[in-house]
Structures are given as C-alpha cells and as structure tokens.
Amino acid sequence: MDDSAVPQIQIDGLPTVFGDDAVLLDVREDDEWQRGHAPDAQHIPMGDVPARMAEIDAEKQLYVICHAGGRSQRVAQYLQRNGYEPVNVDGGMLAWSQSGRAVVTDSGAAGTV
C-alpha cells in the first residue's frame, strides 16, 4: 500500500465524542498539549509514538491530530505501516478550534491552540 494513502477527514466529519468507539490521538509536543487540547483526546507526542504504540487501541477508529496536519500525517503513515488504520485530521487543532469545538486544559479550563 502507498504510504500517501492515509485517509483524511475534515473536522466536521469527526465524531463529537471520543472514548468508547473512537480515539483522537494528539501527537503534539507537551507544551502544545498543556496550552489546550480536545476533550477526551489521548496524548502521545510524535517522538514517543514508536515506544508507546501498545497504548493505542487498535480496535477503535483512530483519528490522528496535531497543530496543522503535517506531523499527524507522518504519524498516521507510520501507524498504517504497523497495522493500524488511522485517519489524519486535516487542518489539525487549528481547524478544530476554528470550527468552534472545545479546547481545554488538563484542569478542564478553556485552553488555546
């Protein structure tokens, strides 16, 4: 399979809730995550993904997100080569925030992207 064939999804096509059936994997760095992230997202920084792949539930629909879509595309390609079926979130957290979806901090307060 061609690496570039990772499916893409627009923000409006994403589920509104993550956890039971779907995982939103945020691969941004710790400082980006701490400023603000999607509620219920799972955080594994891009560089940690190879060592922490066992934490990613392969049974659930997997969406990968970063700041604008570039890092998540690379992580999605890597995960695809390793047996996952990821979908890259086009536009990343910038598009998420611009669409009006919630951005929170770990404390639950409003966050920023």
Distance (Å, rounded) from C-alpha 7 to C-alpha 81? Answer: 13
Q: Is 66 a catalytic residue?
A: yes
* Catalytic residue selected from 6, 23, 44, 66: 66
Distance (Å, rounded) from C-alpha 10 to C-alpha 31? Answer: 25
In angstroms, the first-to-last Cα distance of the chain is 34
Sheet with 42-43, strands from edge to edge, namely: 8-9, 86-89, 61-65, 22-26, 42-43
Query: What is the set of active-site residues?
Result: 66
